[in-house]
Amino acid sequence: MLVFDQKRELKNFLDKERENSHAIGLVPTMGALHQGHVSLVKKALDENDTVVVSIFVNPTQFDNKDDLQKYPRSLEKDLQTLKLESPKIVVFAPTISAIYGDKVNSQSYEFDGLDKVMEGAFRTGHFDGVGTIVELLLKTVAPDRAYFGEKDFQQLQIVRKLVELKALPLEIVGCPIEREPHGLAMSSRNERLSETTRKEAGFIYKTLRAAQEKFGTESAKDIAAWVQSEFDKNQVLDLEYFQIADEDTLTPVAKRQEKTKYRAFIAVYADGVRLIDNLRLN
């Protein structure tokens, strides 16, 4: 399996792939690969001739130094996982300086307010960091399609906006959330949970499912109050936010509109680890 750590070499390789009319798929990751990532890779393999998987823990999207330091890193294991999937996979695993040179800074973006709520409100600068690395990856790889998981649904909508703003000629493919058997959304951060907490964290999805049920008959305000009261009773999990929002604009629900698609978004701390999840409500 080819592994590149320099943009120029990756670009040269991909130029030749394009000359052979090979469709190129990109799966951007921060490594510590799990079944959620593998499902993105499998979809990309079904739809493209060559699949680039990038593995890069992007420092500019972390608002918390401790979170960046503790983010799981397992490059050798990740390469083994990908090797087993297909010889069509090419890995891009650059160093920080190969991406940023000596200025590890984000660009600033105007994402039409999509970045001002939820993750954007609680993690200062996060989406500027995501925008910076995703723009660079999309411009370096110039894929026909790029694959993002719906677990980071806000990120997915922001990436769609980025592609529109920069007029990049590719398709963004959103892929469903993969869950552990008890419902916890798969995430590299789950590795940092103790076994007991990991089991308890199934409560997040259970609560989202209950909120989905309630959405048929109860107001968003009452559902949010109920969710808060459920977490107040939980000894292990701390709720950071629960928000019901319009899936397209991410605007918090005020007066419900019949044709609007709503989604519940949640962020929770468990063992000091921040977990996010979301669920379509209607």
Known catalytic residue: 22? no
Considering the complex, what minimum distance in angstroms separates the CB of residue 134 from ligand PAF? Answer: 6
Considering the complex, what minimum distance in angstroms separates the CB of residue 41 from ligand PAF? Answer: 13
Taking the least distance from each CB to ligand PAF, the nearer of 19 and 66 is: 66
For the sheet with 273-280, list strands across it.
Answer: 237-246, 262-270, 273-280
Chain centroid to Cα 80, Å, comes to 22
Measured CA to CA, the distance from residue 209 to residue 211 in angstroms comes to: 5
Q: β-pairing, 145-149 with 50-55? A: unpaired
Amino acid at 185: A
Taking the least distance from each CB to ligand PAF, the nearer of 131 and 211 is: 131
Please tell me which residue in 22, 37, 126, 182 is annotated as part of the active site.
37
Beta bridge partners of 214: none
Considering the complex, what minimum distance in angstroms separates the CB of residue 68 from ligand PAF? Answer: 12
Place of tokens 């503790």: 70
Considering the complex, what minimum distance in angstroms separates the CB of residue 256 from ligand PAF? Answer: 30
Taking the least distance from each CB to ligand PAF, the nearer of 122 and 226 is: 122
Beta bridge partners of 172: 146
**Binding site residues, ligand PAF, CB under 6 A:** 28-30, 58, 61, 130, 133-134, 152, 155
Angle subtended at Cα 57 by Cα 50 and Cα 155, rounded to the nearest 5 degrees: 75
Taking the least distance from each CB to ligand PAF, the nearer of 145 and 220 is: 145
Active site positions, annotated: 37
